Amino acid sequence: MKVRVDPERCQGHTLCAMAAPDVFELSEIDGHSTAVNEDVPADQEDRVREAAKSCPEQAITIF
């Protein structure tokens, strides 16, 4: 599983980082999220799916 955050869509809602703090990191500058771990470890997959569902901007893509 891989994951990506679309920087154009992300509005800094932070729900992704709450759901999967080992995968998503919020920028200290603008509060927007990036996937620090694009290759999702197997034990983080459920959390990443949850994060993608919870993002109000649908900025998270799993592939």
**How many residues are recorded in the chain?**
63
- Residue type for 22, please? D
Kindly list the residues in this chain that would bind ligand F3S in the complex (CB under 6 A): 5, 10-16, 32-33, 55, 57, 59-60
Strand partners, 60: 5
Q: Which is nearer to ligand F3S, 41 or 61 (CB)?
A: 61
DSSP label at 33?
Answer: E
- Nearest approach in angstroms of CB 17 to ligand F3S is 6
- Nearest approach in angstroms of CB 16 to ligand F3S is 3
Map residue 50 onto helix, strand or coil.
Answer: helix
Q: Which is nearer to ligand F3S, 41 or 58 (CB)?
A: 58
